[in-house]
């Protein structure tokens, strides 16, 4: 489709349906909804949570931290295979579209909720805006890569975070009049919340303050199936972290599924898991690697912004560490965010334990200088997006 679907043009506000399904979506939708709320005569907003990430406590925590209202619609689809989850979302979201008749559906990123809701909207001829369009790892074994490619092909407004993404879309045949380089909505949230995140008590709770100074520590996140579902790979990564922890304390806010796999593979002693660390006094002996439950957005932002190094398989964290100037080691074979390597503080390492350990030790000694702040990562992405929607 070469022509861009136009938004409904009348005297009434445009009815916008924002789709979220996983925690990274929350950080990106918050600045959009905040900016859109400045034009109540132009936009009528609804927030739909598919329930793809279905931890109620974690979702509530993120919504509160980001100043988001409770979702207007909650599908509650829960877990399942990629096909089951995508199918459930499509069935339920179609019912919502018939009832609510949105003029625009906004989808974010690359999760199953993104492609599921975009497919439904496309088949109902509802215009689609894709936030974070055009990112490519060029690895189609990643389910997220399939979601990205297909969502971009059926979207009407493709909002990109970097010029590489623009070029990817053009090479795939997307008309240039649909592509808008606006910057990074996740960075909008980070810059907007840094000051309040600094008031978090997470560093004190974890014993990372000594003599009014922050101790040197590393931060780890792991959640991708390629890392946590293979016992050999997971054990190798944990062994590498153990080696790094001889140089620096490691804090590991662990995804529930990751902890489940660590327990299944009988590796829990390698991470010293403190399940109730908020309510209990930490045993600070023998804790060079400390795993804790997931944190809210503000606590995690505080922890990340003060870390000496971050080791992760997350996409968004590669971007956030670039803005914060924190060295980031990505424990994946590729990244859909190459700008964080070219211009930021990111090194893509893969899962080789020796390479992880040796690189981490080297980076702790020498650092990773940030080349520059990527263009338009200035906290104004949402403002640009809303202006485009108002004029196109």
Residues 172 and 223 in one domain: no
Residue span of the structural domain in which 25 resides: 14-183+377-391
- Grouping H, G, I as helix, E, B as strand and the rest as coil, residue 60 is helix
What burial letters (b/e) apply to 191-217, b meaning 16+ CB within 10 Å?
Answer: ebbeeebeebebbeebebeeeeeeeeb
DSSP-assigned letters across all residues of 196-251 = HHTT--HHHHTT-EETTEEPPEEEEE---HHHHS-HHHHHHHHHHHHHHTTTSEEE
pLDDT at 260: 95
pLDDT at 279: 77
Torsion over CA: 234, 236, 240, 245 (sign): positive
Residues 215 and 137 in one domain: no
Residues 175 and 222 in one domain: no
pLDDT at 1: 44
pLDDT at 11: 78
Looking at residue 273, the DSSP 8-state letter turns out to be B
First-residue to last-residue Cα distance in the chain: 17
Residues 154 and 201 in one domain: no
- Grouping H, G, I as helix, E, B as strand and the rest as coil, residue 160 is strand
CATH number of the domain enclosing 30: 3.40.50.2000
202 domain-assigned: yes
Neighbours of 362 (CB within 10 A): 12
pLDDT at 69: 87
CA–CA distance, 9 with 344 (Å, rounded to integer) = 41
Verify whether residue 130 is a known catalytic residue.
no
pLDDT at 370: 83
Q: Residue 153 is encoded by which pair of tokens? A: 């092909």
* 272-292 per-position pLDDT tens digit: 999 888 777 776 545 689 999
pLDDT at 4: 66
Residues 207 and 329 in one domain: yes
pLDDT at 7: 75
3-state secondary structure 95-121: HHHHHHCCCEEEEECCCHHHHHHHHHH
Number of structural domains found in the chain: 2
Q: Of 49, 82, 193, 223, which is the active-site residue?
A: 223
Q: Residue 130 is encoded by which pair of tokens? A: 């894709």
pLDDT at 192: 97
Looking at residue 53, the DSSP 8-state letter turns out to be S
Q: How far is CA 56 from the centre of its chain?
A: 18
* Regions in the chain scoring below 50 on pLDDT: 1, 285
């Amino acid at each position: 489709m070469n022509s861009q679907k136009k938004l409904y043009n009348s005297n009434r506000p445009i009815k916008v349906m924002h789709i979220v399904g996983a925690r990274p979506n929350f950080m990106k939708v918050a600045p959009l909804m905040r900016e859109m709320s400045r034009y109540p005569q132009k936009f009528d907003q609804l927030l739909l949570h598919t329930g793809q990430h279905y931890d109620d406590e974690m979702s509530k925590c993120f919504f509160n931290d980001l100043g988001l209202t409770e979702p207007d619609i909650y599908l509650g689809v829960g877990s399942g295979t990629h096909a089951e989850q995508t199918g459930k979302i499509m069935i339920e979201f179609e019912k919502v579209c018939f009832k609510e008749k949105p003029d625009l559906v906004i989808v974010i990123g690359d999760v199953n909720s993104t492609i599921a809701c975009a497919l439904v909207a496309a088949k109902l001829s509802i215009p689609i805006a894709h936030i974070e369009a055009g990112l490519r790892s060029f690895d189609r074994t990643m389910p997220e890569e399939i979601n990205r490619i297909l969502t971009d092909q059926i979207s009407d407004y493709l909002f990109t975070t970097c010029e590489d993404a623009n070029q990817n879309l053009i090479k795939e045949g997307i008309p240039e009049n649909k592509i808008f380089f606006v910057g990074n909505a996740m960075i909008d949230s980070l810059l907007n919340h840094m000051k309040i995140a600094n008031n978090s008590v997470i560093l004190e709770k974890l014993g990372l303050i000594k003599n009014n100074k922050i101790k040197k520590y590393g931060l780890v996140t792991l959640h991708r199936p390629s890392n946590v579902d293979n016992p050999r790979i997971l054990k190798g990564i944990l062994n590498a972290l153990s080696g790094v922890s001889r140089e620096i304390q490691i804090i590991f806010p662990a995804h529930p599924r990751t902890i489940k796999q660590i327990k299944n593979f009988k590796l829990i002693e390698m991470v010293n898991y403190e399940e109730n660390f908020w309510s209990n006094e930490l045993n600070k002996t023998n804790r060079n690697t400390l795993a804790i439950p997931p944190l809210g957005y503000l606590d995690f932002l505080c922890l990340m912004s003060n870390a000496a190094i971050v080791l992760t398989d997350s996409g968004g964290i590669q971007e956030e560490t670039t803005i914060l100037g924190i060295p980031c080691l990505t424990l994946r074979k590729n990244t859909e965010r190459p700008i964080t390597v070219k211009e930021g503080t990111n090194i893509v390492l893969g899962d080789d334990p020796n390479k992880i350990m040796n690189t981490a030790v080297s980076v702790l000694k020498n650092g990773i200088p940030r080349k520059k702040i990527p263009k338009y990562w200035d906290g104004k992405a949402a403002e640009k997006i809303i202006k485009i929607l108002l004029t196109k």
